[in-house]
Structure 1
Amino acid sequence: MKLMINHQTHYHYSDVACNSIQYIKMTPVSNLHQHVYCWDVSVPGQKEIKSDAFNNIWITSSQRQSYNQMSIMAQGVVEINQTTQFGVETDINPKLFLQPTFSTLCNAEMKSFAECYVPRVNRANLIALSEAILGYIPYTPDQTSVQTSAIEAFQCRQGVCQDHSHVFIAMCKYLGLPARYVSGYLFVPNTAHLASHAWAEVFLENTWYCFDTSNQLFTPNSHIYVAIGRDYWDVAPVRGIRERGGIESMHSIVQVLAC
């Protein structure tokens, strides 16, 4: 299936900003699951492109001129293989995804929750764990932020795809399973939270398996991969620093359309 993606992020500042550096991970690559026909990221300033430690495409944009607003736009056409059953293979050692991060730590309550649904480690029990997490943490927009950790999301029992992924990854790491955070795009008609998306994948039986807790999808045949990491902070679409600017407000528009 061929998909057209249009991802716009618009920033507005209450005061004049200057001397900013933006780190952008919004570029998918071709692999066995997807073919990128064309892709472009438009961002003001000087642009440098390289790869990060996880082989994600990493754009660094530096802007010296003063500004009150800034837009970053990514768009292109990607064809995905809808028969894909497993996650994308990489040459990164899966053990790297056992590393603890602040966003994917477990407390005692979360450990007991994981043990309840995964008395033995197998894919069926992990699917049951994913289902239980969604039941315990219903999809609730605008109640958490990128700063919310897995423990905080579990305690407040509200969250979005980022929170579901962090909680699931945290529990899988506790169970001794390498688990990674994937950012990308999702095409599923008639759902409340499609488009820009995140999900988890677990290394089991020498294979990466998809666990999209928010949508209860366990194969990535509606997903476009953009970046892979240990948590949100490894794959954040945009991170940056600037001088001045006052209060920042951000508005994002994402469209994923069949073409």
Structure 2
Amino acid sequence: MRIRIRHEISQNFEPGSRNMAAIVRLTPRPHEGQFIQRWTLDVDGDACLHAQEDAFGNCCHSFSVEGPADSVTIIAEGEVETQDSAGIVRGTVERFPPALYLRTTELTLPEPNVVAFAQGVPRDADPLNHLHALMQAVHEAVKERPDTPNGDTISAGEVLRKGAACSGSITHLFTTLARYLGLPARHVSGYFATEEAGNVRHWAEAHVTDVGWIAFDCGQKLCATENHVRLAVGLDALGVAPLRTSGTGLKEEISVRTGRLLRNGPARNPPASNPPVINPGAGGMQQAQSQQQS
């Protein structure tokens, strides 16, 4: 499936602000089932993008604006070809062993209500079956609400108390449950596309011995499909936020569309260890481009 994506983020600053710095995680990496056909990343104003990788192997860009400036706009745009892998994730950049993803954060603490919820799900000796049971239980217990801008999420315990949350917060609950039960789980940001419209979305990946990483979208009660585009991974929503700055007044405009792609054979995925080629522009709109041909 061919998926076309345009993600624009505008961030306001205090009037007359100087020396603003930002980290951007808006560049997907290829893996089995996800091939980046083209991708561009633009930032307005007098700023230059610097490509790098974070600790988890996500493709990031940093930039600074020396101001005075009142706002900055970042535009990520491109096309991604996806193939259904039944939720199994292979060929990704892995910087750490799965056991690292048993770590908790402030948003994924096993509070007493979360522990009670985990113990209330009948235990299955097969960890894969138990993960599916956890997804089913989370889906039934929490109503999904539209995602809020830039990872404005709540903790796993708060999700259960409210009974309704965005996909990022629901993911906090699932990863907390899995980690409490000794199953490594991590947080994923990305996009979900349909023929009519799509949006940003968060889901989880849990590790099962002899199988590997498997993607669980609890809000939709399904393993990730060809409609999912994987963007970044981390321990929680803060670790995969598309934009981290000191600004306020965030505004996002997102367009995600699908289109069936006809071809003579399967796309050839480049090695996941190769990051996109970055070609910063000079002056005006600075551009980072990724061109990978099938």
Same fold, TM exceeding 0.5?
yes
Q: 1:48 corresponds to which letter in structure 2?
A: H
Selected match of 2:207 from 203, 210, 213: 203
Matched, 1:230 2:238: no
Matched, 1:187 2:187: no
Which deviations, in whole Å up to 9, do the C-alpha atoms of 1:181-238 show, x marking residues without a partner?
A: 11111113568xx421110011013311111011112133221111111111221110
Q: Report the Cα distance in structure 2 between the residues aligned to 1:16 and 1:225, rounded to whole angstroms.
A: 36
Contact 1:196 1:254 in 2 (8 A): yes
The residue matched to 2:168 in structure 1 has which SS?
A: helix
Give 1:23 shift.
Answer: 0.4
Which residue number in structure 2 is paired with residue 8 of structure 1? 8
Percent of pairs identical after alignment?
Answer: 26
Q: 1:211 corresponds to which letter in structure 2?
A: F
Q: 1:197 corresponds to which letter in structure 2?
A: R
Give 1:167 shift.
Answer: 0.4
Q: Report the Cα distance in structure 2 between the residues aligned to 1:56 and 1:157, rounded to whole angstroms.
A: 31
Which residue number in structure 1 is paired with residue 98 of structure 2? 94
Structure 1 residues 119 and 33: CA distance shift in structure 2, 3 A: same
Question: What TM-score do the two structures reach when normalised by structure 1?
Answer: 0.89
Give 1:131 shift.
Answer: 2.0
Matched, 1:132 2:134: no
Q: How many matched pairs?
A: 252
Unaligned runs of 5+ in 1: 243-247
Give 1:84 shift.
Answer: 4.5
Q: 1:137 corresponds to which letter in structure 2?
A: V
Q: 2:7 corresponds to which letter in structure 1?
A: H
Question: What TM-score do the two structures reach when normalised by structure 2?
Answer: 0.79
Give 1:90 shift.
Answer: 3.9
Give the alignment of 1:1-259 within 5 angstroms. Answer: 1-13=1-13, 15-44=15-44, 45-88=47-90, 89-91=92-94, 92-121=96-125, 122-141=127-146, 146-189=152-195, 194-206=198-210, 207-241=212-246, 248-259=248-259
Contact 1:118 1:129 in 2 (8 A): no
Contact 2:5 2:77 in 1 (8 A): yes
Contact 2:200 2:254 in 1 (8 A): yes
Q: Report the Cα distance in structure 2 between the residues aligned to 1:90 and 1:150, rounded to whole angstroms.
A: 27
Give 1:16 shift.
Answer: 2.8
Give 1:30 shift.
Answer: 1.4
Contact 1:4 1:76 in 2 (8 A): yes
Contact 2:153 2:237 in 1 (8 A): no
Q: 1:214 corresponds to which letter in structure 2?
A: G
Contact 2:190 2:230 in 1 (8 A): yes
Q: 2:160 corresponds to which letter in structure 1?
A: F
